[in-house]
Amino acid sequence: MTQGQKGKRFLVGATLIIGGLLALFFGTGTIMPFVIGGAISLFGLVLFSEKSSRSAGLITLIVGGLFLANPLLGWHIITWLAVGSLLAGGYVSYDTYKKINSY
């Protein structure tokens, strides 16, 4: 895994975690779910384009797409998405850490 791949994966993990925290704080009352969903989807596309990061990229794309699709349904959906985003960010970060230490 190259230095650039490591950086991208940690950036995606941090984006998911920060996005989840922002969604928990701001909820559905603002435009933030659309901004968060767009950012997460963008990083998911970048991550999915790498062969070694397909599963993490797919998880990131799904979480970002759900953020974009569901902010009008209510606060409980956003809360679950925020928790899912935090878990996905933790998974991506842990997976990257595990791959770095396996070399």
Query: Which domain does 92 fall in, by range?
Result: 3-101
At 73 the pLDDT is: 62
Report the sign of the C-alpha dihedral through residues 86, 87, 90, 91, in that order: negative
What is the number of domains present in the chain? 1
27 CB-contact burial (10 Å; exposed 0-12 / middle 13-18 / buried 19+): middle
pLDDT digits (tens, 9 = 90+) for 30-86: 677 777 777 778 777 877 777 766 777 777 777 777 777 765 666 677 777 777 777
pLDDT value at residue 97: 77
Q: Is pTM beyond 0.85 here?
A: no
